[in-house]
Structure 1
């Protein structure tokens, strides 16, 4: 294994998003951040690079605001970041995103292992990594909670609905990781200052040779509304608290919750 690549997304920080009275989302004061799931991918890439003494780079696609992510990404152990800032990302779905990332990867070079988060903090479609693998013609391993590289082979433990599966493949391959795979580092002052000296490179969509159909999303988001839970507001008022607990348990069982 000689070189690693991590794909990440620059997203709105959900804790800054407010829900208006008409259930529309108020993002006027929301800041941006690297998607939490992608922080796990970056951390895993950095750990593998440190362990095996290889290079690790990153690639991100978003609006022009994605450039703001570079310093944070580089402070997390990456050697270099390629970024694509284009208005196309405002309506891009997983189809468009995968097409652009695949074309960019073919342009910038070959990698032995490509890491992604299992989904992004905003849409969480879980489609980008498998689509990217199909376009590049390499294996995809999803839902990975443990990852090692032994004798040039990728050994991944997948967490599925009712079982654990271990897969071994010979790279290059794409792996999408679950949050439990690691705990992302918090960059210190030294790492933040060093990040300012690390290289980054802009890749323009116009340089990727993509056709109009490859940049046209299959899914368009017309609106996003906040979710409101309508509670039943059932109150148990028996004098004996044990009776209240018994009625609560019975009610939950009737709803299929226990």
Structure 2
């Protein structure tokens, strides 16, 4: 049975991230979670598997701390999980991550569709799907909100800046979905309990022969501070204040 592979990332929960007075970022108390956008990728894989008669599986690249993600991912419908376990994942850039995932996809074999989110909720770099496609020499469709299937072909609707585009491609392929693609349900207790019994395959760097040398290195992370102008329009009547506000917004390029 052909596999539909949903790639996802285990990230720090932004609700637990703290910005210190010196603008340094503190994630020491942040719990992990599956990237919110990647939940759409997992749901898309489950839906695609039902339409194609395939098997939805999950794939992640992370260190030992990513283990709790496995059960969460499997509780969302996939039948099997794959984990590229490596401490180097902490310093990985898009190139390393794509190499790790692509190597695992090749190891898994017999996949008709690889689904990623358009970007992860921590970096939103939008690199992984195109890079996987380049490594595996597969067609890539990004910004997807609707997927339908005609035999061995995928028909996808892409959401562009000012229009919708429909494209058709022969499988296998790589797809990056937007959050508008679906509404991932919250797993129920029965699904969570069943997830613990589903199979998990772990790959090490030695298993896959991955090159962990990143091309980019993060040298610093600082919190973002928005400096507001605090302009108050309080002179004249309401009509004149609205006109004054509109003029100021046009000047700033907002309108």
Conserved 8 A contact 1:66-1:84:
no
CA–CA distance in structure 2, aligned partners of residues 119 and 154 of structure 1 = 21
What secondary structure does 2:161 align onto? coil
Conserved 8 A contact 2:8-2:35:
yes
Conserved 8 A contact 2:51-2:149:
no
Task: Give the gaps of 5 or more residues in structure 2.
Answer: none
Instruction: Show structure 1 runs of 4+ deviating over 4 A.
Output: none
For 1:155, the equivalent position in structure 2 comes to 155
Where do 1:152-191 residues align within 5 Å? 152-191=152-191
Q: Normalising to structure 1: TM-score of the pair?
A: 0.95
Task: Note the alpha carbon deviations across 1:27-65, whole angstroms, 9 max, x for none.
Answer: 122111101111000001111223343211111001111
What secondary structure does 1:227 align onto? coil
CA–CA distance in structure 2, aligned partners of residues 175 and 75 of structure 1 = 22
What secondary structure does 1:33 align onto? strand
Task: Note the alpha carbon deviations across 1:198-249, whole angstroms, 9 max, x for none.
Answer: 1111111111123xxx321111001111111111111122142222222111
Q: Which of 210, 218, 221 is the equivalent residue of 1:224?
A: 221
Conserved 8 A contact 1:62-1:85:
yes
What secondary structure does 1:225 align onto? coil
For 1:108, the equivalent position in structure 2 comes to 108
For 1:250, the equivalent position in structure 2 comes to 247
For 2:7, the equivalent position in structure 1 comes to 7
CA–CA distance in structure 2, aligned partners of residues 108 and 230 of structure 1 = 49
Conserved 8 A contact 2:2-2:110:
no
Conserved 8 A contact 1:10-1:69:
yes
Where do 1:1-258 residues align within 5 Å? 2-210=2-210, 214-258=211-255
Which stretch of the first structure deviates more once superposed, 60-69 or 230-239? 230-239
Q: How big is the shift at 1:121? A: 0.8
Size of the aligned set, in residue pairs, is 255
RMSD (Å), alpha carbons: 1.2
Task: Note the alpha carbon deviations across 1:1-40, whole angstroms, 9 max, x for none.
Answer: 8321111000011111111101111112211110111100
What secondary structure does 1:82 align onto? strand
What secondary structure does 1:215 align onto? coil
Q: How big is the shift at 1:131? A: 0.7
Task: Note the alpha carbon deviations across 1:130-158, whole angstroms, 9 max, x for none.
Answer: 11011111111111111111212111111
What secondary structure does 2:111 align onto? coil
